[in-house]
């Protein structure tokens, strides 16, 4: 009899608990929906064109672009050749900045990982430095550097490399935290310096993970380098902006650039995911 | 038996070592070769000539200091004082800061560090700390000047124009005007612009006024500061966060049902799955830049265009990630729910969603955080949010203190989003 009442009490408690949880989720959902509606309302009110008007015009540009590219399809191969050098520049910016960013990221990561750091007291300093590097959008550094260094690939490369150093540094340090410290101890017992300990004790363990993160970053950096080109840092983004400002009649060029950019991004994504799979399989 | 296997094993080991050695030397060598190629392709050597070090000096000094101009128009002889030489920073006619003593068409200017200047009768006379005197007068045919022997790096003189770099100040004389700059540390008019009556008050005076019930007026003057536009800047920051918020969560809402349709264990129809996956790939492959351009043609410039660009690009990424997460769910929970007689919707709601929710939410939060940064960049292209303010300030090439201000705000905003999303993620993982 006592068991039964106890059971009832538990049941009542449980139902009350679920009801309260449902109420909370329902409230949260309502707040969320209201926030989305309010956000959309504000965004639309501050936009030049309204949403519904824009929606009806949305297909106009792609259709115009495709039909114009179709009419002048014979010119497309020529355009591909014309824009190939700037595409190469965009890819080069991404690759060089990934290399420099990854090198700096490795240093920052090792210097800010507990157990590995050269100066353990400086760990918070290097961590904050990485936070700041990650927080600064590339465009900020790129625009300032363009003012100093003039247009061209170098400002974009430096800007993306700095951001990459911060982003990769954080991921690298998460990997390095899980590295086995025994090789490091062994190396230090035979008198190896810090650099030797890292080079022979830590890097061989973490290299596959580091490489796979760096490749993922390369994918992201190609997109970033195209965008920076659009705001004036050279490469295919710059050509795209010019093609867009010429407008109707020159859309075949824009179409060619769109296709090149799309193809590059898809190819790099595929290649990198292929090699990343290989790396993670080789590891196990 | 071992004798036969032994050389074979040895050979294998040697081959492995050779390969590893090749990789560990070959990879750095390739990277080095590539970087040498980049050095040539990017014309790094020519950069030294193209680099504008004077621009770098302008940025470095202007981002944390400002200058007040004292200008005499040679034709009318009128003297005007203006912060940064801007209309918005101009002192009313006949008024001036304490270090300028105006007297009709004459002025005595204290340039600091023992340097004084006297503008009178259409000419300027500057006395340096050691008693040397610079005299200059704009004439119709050019600039007439007598200079003491000065470090040549500090003087730039032609027939038409004289520039003398003083200690913390600068003199420019052309045919049409005499212009004195004096540099001050800090961001000018950051709290109150000149049209506010709180401008120039000391901290004590401000505190007194605040206690005396003038706090609302002070807040209003600060918020509506004409030079720094704090109110508009805060709005722009909010707009950027809103772009990221709406784009990311909108993408999550759209791609969740689509992810069910493209997950192997929920949609048996191969064609639907394959088609949807290709759509996700396409949407991801067409970069945010291209989506931004396409959308800007239809919706015009503004933050909504940027938010929609983020929404479309991320729908592709979310669709792919969500469907992968759904394919990794445990079937047993769904079976359990099914055994109670639940229908399809209930099975998804109680059998699948609780399993994937923590993964999905943490991915969405991660994207939200990184999209605040993207929204800044996209805002610069579509003309919305803080990105627009930043590009405008950089393009005018003189408001470097404002550029520095925006950069600080952007970094703080992104770091705040970063720690907020990290906090929520930790809560979710612990709670889930």
Q: Which residues pair with B379 in a beta bridge?
A: none
Q: Based on the fold, state whether residues A197 and A225 are members of the same structural domain.
A: yes
CB contact under 8 A, B302 and A47: yes
Q: What is the pLDDT of residues B82-106, one digit of tens each?
A: 877 777 777 777 777 778 887 777 8
Over residues B400-409, the pLDDT tens digits come to 888 888 999 9
Structure confidence at residue B268 as a pLDDT band (50, 70, 90): confident
Q: pLDDT per residue over A121-151, tens digit each?
A: 999 999 999 989 988 888 888 888 888 888 7
What pLDDT score was predicted for residue A233? Answer: 76
Q: Do A76 and A28 reside in the same domain of the chain?
A: no
| A137 in the same domain as A37 | no
- By Cβ distance, the residue of A50, A138, A150 closest to B51 is A150
Residues A84 and A52 in one domain: no
- What is the domain range of residue A30? 2-58
- With CB atoms and an 8 Å threshold, state whether A43 touches B307: yes
- DSSP label at residue B90: B
From B228's Cα to the closest Cα of chain A, the distance in A is 19
Do residues A199 and A277 both lie within one domain?
Answer: yes
Third-level CATH fold of B230-431:
MetI-like fold (1.10.3720)
- Are B348 and A110 in contact, with CB atoms under 8 Å apart? no
Query: Rounded CA gap, A237 and A244, in Å?
Result: 10
Confidence of residue B245 (pLDDT cuts 50, 70, 90): very high
Instruction: Give yes or no: residues A254 and A136 share one domain.
Output: yes
Q: Which residue in the block uniquely carries the two structure tokens 């709406």?
A: B246
Most confident listed range (A76-85, B168-177, B249-258, B294-303): B249-258
Indicate yes or no: CB of A149 within 8 angstroms of CB of B407: no
First to last CA, chain A: 58
Q: pLDDT, tens digit, for every residue of A204-253?
A: 888 888 999 999 999 999 999 998 888 777 888 888 888 887 766 678 88
pLDDT of residue B250: 94
Residues 1-40 in B contacting A (C-alpha not used; CB under 8 Å)? 31, 34-35, 38
For residue A68, CA distances in Å to A59, A100, A243, A263 come to 14, 41, 13, 20
A108, A175: one domain: yes
> Nearest 10 degrees: CA dihedral of A133, A135, A138, A143?
-90
Count A/B contacts: CB-CB distance under 8 Å: 180
pLDDT given for residue A282 in this prediction? 61
Looking at the fold, whether A30 and A147 belong to one and the same domain comes out as no
* Rounded-to-integer distance, Cα A77 and Cα B217, Å: 65
Q: How far does the CA of residue B375 sit from the closest CA of chain A (Å)?
A: 10
| Nearest C-alpha in A relative to B412 | A135
Q: Which segment of A15-29, B112-126, B233-247 scores lowest on mean pLDDT?
A: B112-126
Same domain membership, residue A54 and residue A142: no
- Tell me: do A277 and A158 sit in the same domain: yes
CATH number of the domain where residue A120 is located: 1.10.3720.10
pLDDT for A111 beyond 60: yes
* pLDDT tens readout for residues A249-265: 678 888 888 899 889 98
- Write out the H or E segment, with its range, that includes residue B290: helix B288-299
User: Which pLDDT score is estimated for B5?
Assistant: 56
Best of A28, A32, A35, A39 to disrupt the B interface by mutation (most B CBs within 10 Å)?
A39
Query: What pLDDT does B83 receive?
Result: 79
End of a domain among A58, A82, A101? A58
Query: What confidence score (pLDDT) does residue B119 get?
Result: 84
Token pair of A59, please? 């297909």
Binary contact (A135, B288; C-beta < 8 A)? no
CB contact under 8 A, B242 and A42: yes
- The pLDDT confidence band at residue A2, using thresholds 50, 70 and 90, is low
Do both A70 and A16 map to the same domain?
no
pLDDT tens string B184-201:
777 777 777 767 777 777
Closest residue on chain A to B240 (Cα): A43
pLDDT > 70? residue B17: yes
Residues 249-268 in B contacting A (C-alpha not used; CB under 8 Å): 249-250, 253
Instruction: Establish if A85 touches chain B: CB-CB under 8 angstroms.
Output: no
Q: How far apart are CA A213 and CA A221, in angstroms?
A: 12
Q: Is the pLDDT of residue B244 over 90?
A: yes
**Higher confidence at residue B427 or residue B363?**
B363
Query: Can you give the pLDDT at residue B248?
Result: 95
Are A101 and A215 found together in one domain? yes
Q: How far is the C-alpha of B107 from the C-alpha of B103, rounded, in Å?
A: 6
**Mean per-residue pLDDT for B375-388?**
88
The answer on pLDDT for B391 being more than 60 is yes
**Which of A8-12, B57-61, B167-171, B418-422 is the least confident region?**
B57-61
**Which of the listed ranges A3-12, A29-38, B347-356, B416-425 does the model predict with the highest average pLDDT?**
A29-38
Mean pLDDT of chain B: 83
Domains of chain A: total: 2
pLDDT at B1: 47
| pLDDT value at residue B4 | 54
Query: Pairing mode, if any, of strands B142-146 and B155-157?
Result: unpaired
Per-residue pLDDT band at B432 (split at 50, 70, 90): very low
In Å, how far is A160's CA from the nearest CA of chain B?
A: 13
All CATH 1.10.3720.10 domain ranges of chain B, comma separated, are 230-431
Higher pLDDT, A164 or A249: A164
CA pair distance B229, B190, nearest whole angstrom: 9
Q: Which of A37, A58, A79 is the last residue of a domain?
A: A58
């Amino acid at each position: 009899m006592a068991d039964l009442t106890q059971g009832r009490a538990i049941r009542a408690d449980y139902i009350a608990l679920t009801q309260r949880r449902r109420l909370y989720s329902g409230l949260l959902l309502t707040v969320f929906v209201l926030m989305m509606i309010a956000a959309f309302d504000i965004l639309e009110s501050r936009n030049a064109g309204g949403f519904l008007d824009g929606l009806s015009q949305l297909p106009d540009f792609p259709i115009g672009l495709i039909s114009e590219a179709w009419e002048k399809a014979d010119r497309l191969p020529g355009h591909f050749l014309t824009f190939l050098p700037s595409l190469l520049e965009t890819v080069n910016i991404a690759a060089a900045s990934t290399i420099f960013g990854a090198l700096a990221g490795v240093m920052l990561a090792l210097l800010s990982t507990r157990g590995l750091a050269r100066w353990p007291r400086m760990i918070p300093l290097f961590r904050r430095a990485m936070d700041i590097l990650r927080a600064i959008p590339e465009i900020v550094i790129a625009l300032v550097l363009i003012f100093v260094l003039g247009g061209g690939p170098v400002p974009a490369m430096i800007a993306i490399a700095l951001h990459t150093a911060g982003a990769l540094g954080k991921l690298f340090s998460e990997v390095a935290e899980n590295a086995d410290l025994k090789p490091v101890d062994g190396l230090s017992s035979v008198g190896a310096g810090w650099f030797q300990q890292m080079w022979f004790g830590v890097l061989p363990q973490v290299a596959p993970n580091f490489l796979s993160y760096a490749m993922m970053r390369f994918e992201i950096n190609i997109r970033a380098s195209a965008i920076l080109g659009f705001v004036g840092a050279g490469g295919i983004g710059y050509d795209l902006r010019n093609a867009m400002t010429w407008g109707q009649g020159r859309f075949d060029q824009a179409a060619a650039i769109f296709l090149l950019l799309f193809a590059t991004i898809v190819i790099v994504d595929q290649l990198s995911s292929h090699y990343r799979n290989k790396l993670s399989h080789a590891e196990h | 038996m071992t004798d036969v296997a032994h050389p074979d094993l040895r050979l294998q080991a040697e081959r492995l070592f050779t390969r590893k050695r090749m990789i560990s030397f070959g990879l750095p060598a390739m990277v080095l070769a590539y970087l040498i190629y980049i050095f040539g392709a990017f014309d790094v050597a020519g950069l030294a000539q193209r680099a504008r070090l004077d621009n770098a000096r302008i940025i470095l000094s202007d981002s944390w200091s400002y200058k007040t101009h004292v200008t005499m128009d040679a034709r009318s002889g009128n003297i005007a004082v203006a912060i940064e030489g801007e209309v918005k920073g101009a002192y009313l006619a006949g008024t001036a800061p304490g270090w300028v003593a105006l007297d009709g068409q004459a002025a005595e200017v204290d340039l600091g560090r023992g340097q004084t200047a006297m503008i009178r009768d259409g000419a300027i006379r500057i006395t340096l700390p050691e008693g040397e005197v610079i005299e200059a007068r704009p004439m119709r045919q050019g600039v007439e000047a007598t200079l003491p022997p000065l470090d040549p790096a500090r003087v730039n003189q032609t027939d038409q124009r004289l520039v003398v770099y003083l200690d913390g100040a600068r003199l420019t004389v052309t045919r049409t005007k005499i212009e004195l700059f004096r540099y001050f540390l800090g961001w000018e008019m950051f709290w109150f612009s000149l049209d506010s009556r709180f401008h120039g008050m000391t901290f004590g005076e401000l505190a007194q006024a605040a206690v005396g019930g003038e706090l609302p007026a002070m807040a209003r003057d600060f918020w509506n500061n004409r030079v720094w536009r704090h109110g508009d800047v805060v709005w722009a920051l909010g707009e950027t966060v809103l772009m990221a918020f709406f784009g990311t969560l909108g993408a999550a809402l759209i791609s969740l049902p689509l992810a069910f349709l493209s997950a192997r264990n929920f949609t048996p129809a191969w064609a639907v799955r394959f088609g949807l996956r290709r759509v996700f790939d396409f949407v991801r492959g067409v970069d945010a830049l291209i989506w931004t351009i396409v959308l800007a043609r239809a919706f015009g410039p503004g933050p909504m265009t940027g938010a929609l660009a983020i929404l479309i690009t991320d729908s592709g990424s979310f669709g792919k990630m969500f469907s992968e997460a759904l394919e990794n769910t445990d079937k047993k929970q769904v079976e359990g729910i099914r055994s109670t007689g639940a229908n399809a919707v209930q099975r998804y709601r109680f059998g699948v969603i609780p399993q994937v929710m923590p993964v999905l939410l943490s991915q969405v939060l991660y994207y939200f955080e990184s999209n605040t940064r993207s929204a800044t960049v996209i805002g610069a292209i579509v003309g919305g949010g803080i990105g627009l303010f930043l590009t405008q300030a950089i393009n005018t090439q003189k408001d470097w203190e404002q550029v520095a201000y925006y950069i600080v705000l952007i970094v703080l905003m992104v770091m705040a989003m970063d720690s907020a999303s990290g906090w929520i993620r930790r809560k979710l993982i612990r709670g889930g």
